[in-house]
Amino acid sequence: MQIPFIKYNHQKQLDELPKISQDADKYRILFDPKAYHLALLDAINNAQYRIYIVALYLEQDEAGSEILAALYQIKKQRPNLDIKVFVDWHRAQRGRIGEEKTKTNARYYYQLKKENPNIDIPIFGVPVNRREVLGVLHLKGFIIDDTVIYSGASINNVYLHKFNKYRYDRYHLITNKVLANSMVEYINSNFLPFEAIQRLDVEKHKSRKQIKPEIRALRQHLTNISYQYTNEVNNQTLSVSPISGLGRNNSLNKIIRHLINSTQQKVIFCTPYFNLPNILVRDIIRLLRKGRQVEIIVGDKVANDFYIPEEKPFNISGGLPYLYEINLRNFIERLQTFIDKEQLIIRLWKDADQTYHLKGIWVDNQWVLITGNNLNPRAWRLDLENGILVHDPKQELKDQFIKELNTIREKTILVNHFQQIQASQFYPNHVHKLIKRLSRVKIDRIIKRLL
């Protein structure tokens, strides 16, 4: 008697989630990073009254400079335009691994401000925790007028496919005034009033120690808030629901579990790093035992943004793709019988030396979650995450979602047996030694929780 109650409860939670009506003609999916790059620039150049950029980082490379130049240009043309940029406070104040410590994004923002003294485009740093490793700003969604441009991508050359390299993601353009207003209100109400939020486009920044209490207050606040909007529709109408989450028992985590456990036919996952929280592994196994179909599309280790080619200097972060691959091999070996029955489908994405950054969940051709959540322990507990849940009961967006999935699958291979995944004993010698050393002292478990 208890199992039907659990099943009913998950579906009931989705049915009762507040929803915003969405016009199908105003929902557009793009299928490659170059198209996304052009669409983002076009939206900025045609903005009429507001531009809110929220990203993990806005890099000081050619693509980042192009976006910032577009922002300064449109602000010059339309001085009353409300433009605000929010990035992770920690990430903006450190250089890339291996670069000079003084070469930071924050310093670049300050230089731009000095070059444009009469144009004020505030760039704010958001410290989600006292240290970057313990939590970052991982919210997604650029709000330009009444359109939400939602992608897992940050802003730099590889995400926007500026040159030869790209990092593949999802690219959704949703024109919806209520949705856009709710996301702007979230930022204005839950970021700007807090003293932990610091401008980065200034000469001197406060130290982490100086704002330690303010960071703690901000994090505590962010664990207890959500997007505010009025429920507009019933469950027979195309709708969108923005959801935020920070901490283990947050709203986004709960929705992810409700989605998975309400599956009646098939659920599809995309994640760049195969490092699922244990609770999601248990949910997937439960679905398989019930006869549901599960498809997981994950990046090959070579398509991981932490992957370091053998000819380049190696560091500990370069071991992560191998740790994730070990997870995947063990997972497949454990569930090989379901793969043999074609009930569990595993696809590996790889396109030469390009990288893969896709996240999301598709359920029964009715529910689709677009999110920046990596479906890993870090996203589950540490980072400030969000997502937009699309409910499409009449399948008005079905063709776009099918095309999106088919485009993703084009660069994948089907894994029919765990032995298709390279065993750790065949890794390069320096990688094998690192993993063996980490495993011996169980540090690999800690690393997988934090990265």
Q: Which of 277, 418, 272 lies closest to 335, judged by CA?
A: 418
Rounded Cα distance between 395 and 279, Å, is: 30
**Catalytic option among 10, 90, 205, 357:** 357
Residue given tokens 């989630």 in the structure block? 17
Closest listed residue to residue 269, CA positions, set 339, 344, 329: 344
Our answer to whether residue 357 is catalytic in this structure is: yes
Q: Are 357 and 347 in contact (CB under 8 A)?
A: no
Strand pairing class (147-150; 171-175):
antiparallel
**Active site residue: 37, 138, 172, 391, which one?**
138
Give the full edge-to-edge strand order of the sheet including 147-150.
Answer: 27-30, 171-175, 147-150, 142-144, 50-54, 82-88, 123-126, 198-199
Beta-strand runs (E) in 50-200: 50-54, 82-88, 123-126, 142-144, 147-150, 167-168, 171-175, 198-199
Alpha helices in 312-355 (DSSP H): 320-334, 336-340
Two tokens at 27? 């929902």
Q: How far apart are CA 344 and CA 288, in angstroms?
A: 7
**Cβ-contact 272, 445 below 8 angstroms:** no
> Any catalytic annotation for residue 138?
yes
Stretch (H or E) spanning 278: helix 278-289
Strands (E), 94-146: 123-126, 142-144
Three-class DSSP category at 349: strand
Cα distances (Å, whole numbers) of residue 355 to 97, 166, 306, 350: 18, 6, 9, 8
Q: Which of 61, 201, 383, 385 is catalytic?
A: 385
> Which residue among the candidates 66, 169, 325, 444 is catalytic per the annotation?
169
Active site residues: 138, 169, 357, 385
